[in-house]
């Protein structure tokens, strides 16, 4: 799972109880979706103990490392797709933007559909799954797709905790177009948090056509501090988290900088093809790196990167013309019953930047782990 040069192992006591909710504690085990309203699963291990807590009433599965929140799988109907939110570093710093779910002071208020970590696309049989949000109204809704959580297949705690779910990609009339099985694998070291997302999309009763589009596929909207400094005036939230009335240029604490496996940096990374891209910045005085690795077996690998300075960080496997400037579109088709699998690794490293060589080692290990 981890390259030897970044592996840090420490012994932990994996026996702890979350007092906030009634839990069913299953030691050293794996279980299928629970009928209880809240379930946690743990394993004893020499790595930090990772537990999954399913709260059916609030429609979320919390991921906790040694009792502290790392992230949560959210699938409430107010969202237009299930997401992981928030994402936190090993010391608990939020690396994702709060707006629009939990706005914090000094955040940009653009693109309300960009929340947490998600997976979708901007043109699937002519439907836009990417830009859908509660801010979309009227006739535009007829062109928007949405993704609905169907069920939790399994929960498994331990040093490599896993959550497997099923989702449906729906038309505006709520007709299923694609079935998705998503597997999330969560691992942790003393200073790193890692998510592997493996999503298999299956076309249902009709052909499904992904048209070359810049809006896709695996995306994160990062915290303001991890964005690159603005060059133009923008709307920011005030001290209460509400949008201010006037645009401004305020780069206080904004420290982010992209770097791709190609060696390009900053704004030059946008639209280029890379096996991985990292985003380095400073949060609360600590060096933090967020990295995304595109698996070598993914359709369209290596991905084009929708790495925007304002804080959108996304890997897009079908954007040769829209982002790369190619003459031919990089379209992708699934015939009825056919499937395709997409695999991504997300690394949140605290206390020092991930070097190119370490990320190359991560990418090699990732390729070997999921054939």
Q: Delineate the domains of the chain, giving CATH numbers in brackets.
A: 10-369 (2.70.98)
Q: CA–CA separation, 260 vs 265, rounded Å?
A: 6
pLDDT at 16: 29
Q: Residue-wise over 106-135: b if at least 16 C-beta within 10 A, else e?
A: bbbbebebbbbbbbbbbbbbebbbbbbbee
Residue range 147-167: mean pLDDT, rounded: 95
Q: CA–CA separation, 173 vs 17, rounded Å?
A: 43
pLDDT at 265: 98
pLDDT at 44: 41
pTM, rounded to two decimals = 0.89
pLDDT at 2: 57
pLDDT at 164: 98
Residue range 125-150: mean pLDDT, rounded: 95
Residue 102 has pLDDT above 90, yes or no: yes
- 201-225 tens-digit pLDDT: 999 999 999 999 999 999 999 999 9
Task: Give 3's pLDDT tier (boundaries 50, 70, 90).
Answer: low
Task: Give 262's pLDDT tier (boundaries 50, 70, 90).
Answer: very high
Question: Measured at the alpha carbon of residue 269, what is the angle toward residues 114 and 1, in degrees to the nearest 5?
Answer: 75
Cross-strand bridge partners of residue 185: 162, 196
CA distances from 230 to 138, 235, 270 (A): 32, 11, 16
pLDDT at 353: 77
Q: Select the more confidently predicted residue: 46 or 173.
A: 173
346 alpha carbon, distance to own chain's centre:
7
First-to-final CA distance of the chain: 14
Residue at token pair 């991905």: 303
Q: Look at 181-195, 232-246, 337-351 and tell me which has the smallest mean pLDDT.
A: 232-246
Task: Give 352's pLDDT tier (boundaries 50, 70, 90).
Answer: confident
Q: Look at 11-20, 63-72, 82-91 and tell me which has the smallest mean pLDDT.
A: 11-20
Residue 103 has pLDDT above 50, yes or no: yes
Residue range 317-342: mean pLDDT, rounded: 94
CA distances from 188 to 30, 73, 327, 349 (A): 19, 17, 42, 10
Q: Is 166 helix (H, G, I), strand (E, B) or coil?
A: strand
Contacts of 355 (CB under 8 A, 6+ apart): none
Residue range 133-161: mean pLDDT, rounded: 93
Cross-strand bridge partners of residue 84: 73, 117
Task: Give 46's pLDDT tier (boundaries 50, 70, 90).
Answer: low
């Amino acid at each position: 799972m981890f390259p030897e040069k970044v592996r840090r192992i420490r012994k932990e006591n994996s026996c702890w109880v979350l007092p906030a909710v009634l839990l069913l504690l299953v030691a050293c085990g794996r279980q299928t979706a629970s009928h209880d309203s809240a379930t946690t699963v743990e394993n004893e291990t020499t790595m930090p103990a990772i537990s999954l807590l399913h709260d059916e009433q609030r429609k979320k599965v919390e991921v906790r490392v040694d009792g502290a929140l790392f992230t949560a799988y959210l699938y409430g109907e107010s969202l237009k797709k299930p997401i992981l939110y928030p994402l936190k570093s090993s010391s608990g710093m939020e690396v994702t933007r709060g707006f629009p779910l939990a706005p914090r002071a000094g955040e940009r208020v653009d693109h309300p559909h960009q929340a947490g970590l998600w997976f979708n696309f901007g043109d699937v049989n002519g439907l836009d799954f990417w830009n859908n949000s509660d801010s979309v109204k009227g006739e535009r809704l007829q062109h928007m797709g949405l993704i609905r959580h169907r069920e939790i297949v399994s929960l498994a705690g331990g040093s490599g905790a896993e959550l497997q779910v099923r989702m449906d990609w729906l038309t505006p009339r709520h007709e299923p177009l694609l079935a998705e099985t998503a597997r999330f694998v969560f691992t942790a070291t003393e200073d790193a948090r890692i998510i592997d997302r493996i999503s298999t999309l299956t076309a249902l009763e009709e052909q499904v056509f992904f048209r070359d589009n810049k809006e896709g596929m695996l995306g994160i909207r990062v915290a303001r501090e991890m964005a690159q400094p603005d060059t133009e005036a923008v709307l920011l939230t005030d001290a209460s988290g509400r949008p201010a009335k006037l645009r401004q240029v305020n780069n206080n604490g904004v420290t982010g900088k992209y770097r791709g496996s190609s060696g390009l940096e900053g704004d030059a990374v946008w639209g280029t093809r890379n096996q991985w891209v990292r985003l380095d910045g400073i949060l609360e005085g600590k060096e933090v790196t967020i990295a995304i690795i595109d698996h070598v077996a993914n359709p369209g690998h290596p991905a084009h990167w929708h790495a925007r300075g304002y804080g959108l960080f996304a890997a897009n496997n079908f954007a040769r013309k829209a982002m790369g400037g190619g003459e031919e579109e990089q379209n992708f088709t699934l015939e009825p019953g056919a499937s395709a699998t997409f695999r991504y690794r997300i690394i949140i490293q605290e206390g020092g930047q991930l070097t190119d060589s370490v990320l190359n080692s991560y990418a090699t290990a990732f390729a070997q782990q999921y054939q």
